[in-house]
Amino acid sequence: MLDFDVMSKQFESLTAQLHKSGSLKVWSLIITFFGDSIVNRGGNVSASTVHAVLGRVNIGSGAVRTAFSRLASDGWVERQKLGRCSYYQLTSKGMQLFSEAAQRIYAPVESADNLAGSWLLGTHLDKSALNGFSETDAIMLPNRSVLVFNPDNKTVRKASDLGLLSLTGQLNDVPDWVVEHVRPVDWEQQVKKLLNTFCDIADTPPSDPLSCLATRTLLIHQWRRLLLRYPPIPIALKGRSLQLENESREFVGDLYHKLTRFAEQWLVEQGTCAKGTLSSARTNIADRFTIQYLTQRSL
């Protein structure tokens, strides 16, 4: 039998904890809501719908209006006025902000198989060292090192000419000390913090549709913030942190899908846009956090 008082207390405790931590930046939370719930349903949403969802996590209408004003002036959203009602959608700039991270956010648990290829690690560099590389070829690590994937002879010579410590190797044979050098020092701490934040509500998730949608938005917002703090390090260089990441990804995915049935119900029954009710979902939400998601082009 469901204990609605317990579920309500768990939800209120969660929102209070996140507010206290200072992690709920309203403008960023709006971007998360758009990317997670609205882009897949046509991309346009009424201001009243956003007010309802963010109001459920104790964010006032004034703060939402201020955030929308900031997002519009910074070129993240476009506003449409019809009578007394306002409607918003992400600009191409806003779409890019979330879609670039979407594959990382909703990706399934990673496997350490098929680690073909090579790497080059150059230490104590600045961002200018990335000149000429795409994000899929090289990343800047938090410890001022540059990691290059599958470097060619020219890249190896360039690193040598700079007179910097540079190391190369195969992705299927990475020394433990390199893994420790590459791994962000506070990664495990931040992952465990997220798990602890949502563990109680995972045991007793809310059952009313609006609270489910609000909780799902908070979950993806915190997961997104965690992932974007760190560069997308290759599996071979994650070492023992890979297991913790996979455990947390499985936890987030499981809770996400527990909440989705009622969350989507609220969007269908209560969500509105400039054309009336929100459009039907373009892709299957159930595919997120599964291998099927990787074949989709949209969010």
pLDDT digit string (tens) for 244-280? 889 999 999 999 999 999 999 999 999 999 999 999 9
Domain-embedded: residue 123? yes
Domain-embedded: residue 190? no
Q: Kindly report which listed range (46-60, 126-140, 154-168) carries the lowest average pLDDT score.
A: 154-168
Domain-embedded: residue 19? yes
Same-domain status, 135 and 218: no
Q: Kindly report which listed range (7-16, 151-160, 191-200) carries the lowest average pLDDT score.
A: 151-160
Provide the pLDDT confidence category of residue 299 given band limits of 50, 70 and 90. Answer: very low
Same-domain status, 12 and 87: yes
Check residues 78 and 110 and name the one with the higher pLDDT: 78
pLDDT value, residue 156: 65
Write the CB contacts of 96 (distance below 8 Å, at least 6 apart in sequence): none
Cα torsion angle, 24, 248, 120, 115, sign:
negative
Total of domains in the chain = 2
145 pLDDT exceeds 80?
no
Same-domain status, 10 and 63: yes
Domain-embedded: residue 208? yes
Domain-embedded: residue 193? no
Of 170, 193, 214, the residue that ends a domain is 170
Domain-embedded: residue 189? no
Structural domain including 122 reads 118-170
Please give the Cα distance from 100 to 180 (Å, whole number). Answer: 27
Q: Is 76 exposed, middle or buried (0-12, 13-18, 19+ CB in 10 A)?
A: buried
155 pLDDT exceeds 70?
no
Cα–Cα nearest to 105, from 217, 10, 192, 210: 217
111 pLDDT exceeds 90?
no
Q: Average pLDDT, stretch 123-139?
A: 65
Provide the pLDDT confidence category of residue 142 given band limits of 50, 70 and 90. Answer: low
What the block records as the tokens of 146 is 């540059």
Domain-embedded: residue 176? no
pLDDT digit string (tens) for 202-244? 999 998 999 999 999 999 999 999 998 887 777 777 777 888 8
77 pLDDT exceeds 90?
yes
Q: Average pLDDT, stretch 163-186?
A: 69
Domain-embedded: residue 155? yes
Mean per-residue pLDDT over the chain, rounded: 84
57 pLDDT exceeds 70?
yes
Please give the Cα distance from 39 to 102 (Å, whole number). Answer: 12
pLDDT value, residue 230: 81
CA dihedral 90, 94, 97, 98 (to 10 degrees): -10
pLDDT value, residue 1: 43
Taking residue 218's Cβ as centre, other Cβ atoms within 10 Å add up to 25
Backbone angles phi, psi at 278, to 5 degrees: -65, 150
Cα torsion angle, 189, 248, 36, 62, sign:
negative
- Indicate the pTM of the whole model: 0.86
